[in-house]
Amino acid sequence: VSFRQKPLLKVGLVVFCYVGFMVFQTLGLVFTSSVEGAILFAIVPIFAKIIARFVLGEKSTVLQEVFMWLSISALILMIVMGASTISFSIIGILLLAVASALIAGSNVMMRQIKSIFSPIEITFAIVVSGFLFFNTATLIHGIASNTLDDYLALFGNLKFMIATAYLGIFCI
């Protein structure tokens, strides 16, 4: 992994969008159900198509347009059919919509930088940034709420450490 002589701003934008996606998704799911989240994340390909058109100058084929409108129709149908079980929290929906836009932006920007950065470099940047961001947030919250001991106690739990090592080493 080497970031020398490479445009760090570009990979930084991908990291920002990806970490931002995780933050907004987590916050959005506090206010909505997982069903609403799934419905809202169905718009990611639509957002990606729109963003790619403006950022990368991609043009759609007729078949792509047909399937995009089919996706939009399916999304509307899911909302209408599940309307009785959806709580329609405006805050949650907005947070999840921002999360969807961020992950779509991240996907488009990854396509833009894949010729400059290797997949392992992009993954490394996202994983390390996410690790630093979320652990810093957890440490600040733990100090502020006097629950830091609960966080640190996890590192003495062998099952937790094995699961963390497995996810961090073998699942990347």
> What is the tens place of the pLDDT at every residue in 38-83?
878 888 888 888 888 888 888 888 898 888 888 888 877 877 776 6
Query: In the chain, pLDDT over 70 holds for what percent of residues?
Result: 95
Query: Which residue type does 12 have?
Result: G
The better pLDDT of the pair 76, 99 is held by 99
The better pLDDT of the pair 125, 79 is held by 125
* Residue from 45, 34, 106 nearest 71 by CA: 45
Q: pLDDT at residue 137 above 80? A: yes
Band of residue 158 on the pLDDT scale cut at 50, 70, 90: very high
User: Which pLDDT does position 84 carry in this prediction?
Assistant: 59
Distances (CA, A) of 166 to 95, 120, 121, 171, 172: 31, 17, 20, 7, 9
Say how far apart CA 48 and CA 40 lie, in whole Å.
13
Say how far apart CA 23 and CA 138 lie, in whole Å.
13
CB 86 within 8 A of CB 35: yes
* Residue from 103, 125, 154 nearest 12 by CA: 125
Q: pLDDT at residue 13 above 70? A: yes
